[in-house]
Structure 1
Amino acid sequence: MKLSKIAYKPVGLLLGVGAGLVAGALFKQTWKVVGRTEDAPDATDEDRTWQEILLAAGLQGAIFGLVKASVDRAGAVTTRRLTGVWPG
């Protein structure tokens, strides 16, 4: 395994944690508008409908995926600019 890949591992891990935090905050704000409630439903919320639960889960997954891919790509591009090597 190349040294650049090994060196990028902790950076990628930190970026992933940051992406998760950003995605969680973004989903929470989005759900306030879409769901018209403060908290998104859990799958086991008895008083919530299937439609509401599945909408929340799909929206959360889409937001997380978008933020994670954006952060991962930006991290790789920045690494290439700084080191001249693609970390992948």
Structure 2
Amino acid sequence: MKVSKIAYKPVGLVLGVTGGMIAGAAFKQAWKMIAHEDDAPDATDEHRTWQEVLIAAALQGAIFAVVKAAVDRSGAATTRRLTGTWPG
């Protein structure tokens, strides 16, 4: 295993937590704009329809995936700029 990959692990963990917080906030704002509600439906909420639950889940998954990819990619690119080595 490359030294840069090992050294990047703690950085990747911090970026992952930060990305999760950013994605959560982005999803909450997106749901407010789309559904005009403060909270997205839970899968076990019997008063919500399948459509509401699945749309919320799909939106949340898409937002998390995009934010994770952007955070991971920018972290790796910054590491290469600083060390000259890609951490992957």
TM-score (norm 2): 0.98
Query: Residue 37 of structure 1 corresponds to which residue in structure 2?
Result: 37
Report percent identity of matched pairs. 73
C-alpha deviation, 1:35, in angstroms:
1.4
Q: Which amino acid counterpart does residue 64 of structure 1 have in structure 2?
A: F
C-alpha deviation, 1:55, in angstroms:
0.3
Query: Residue 77 of structure 2 corresponds to which residue in structure 1?
Result: 77
Please, which runs of 5 or more residues in structure 1 have no aligned partner? Answer: none
Q: Deviations over 1:23-67 (max 9, x none)?
A: 000000000011111100000001101000000000000000000
- Between the two proteins, the alignment pairs up a number of residues equal to 88
Query: Residue 11 of structure 2 corresponds to which residue in structure 1?
Result: 11
C-alpha deviation, 1:13, in angstroms:
0.5
TM-score (norm 1): 0.98
Please, which runs of 5 or more residues in structure 2 have no aligned partner? Answer: none
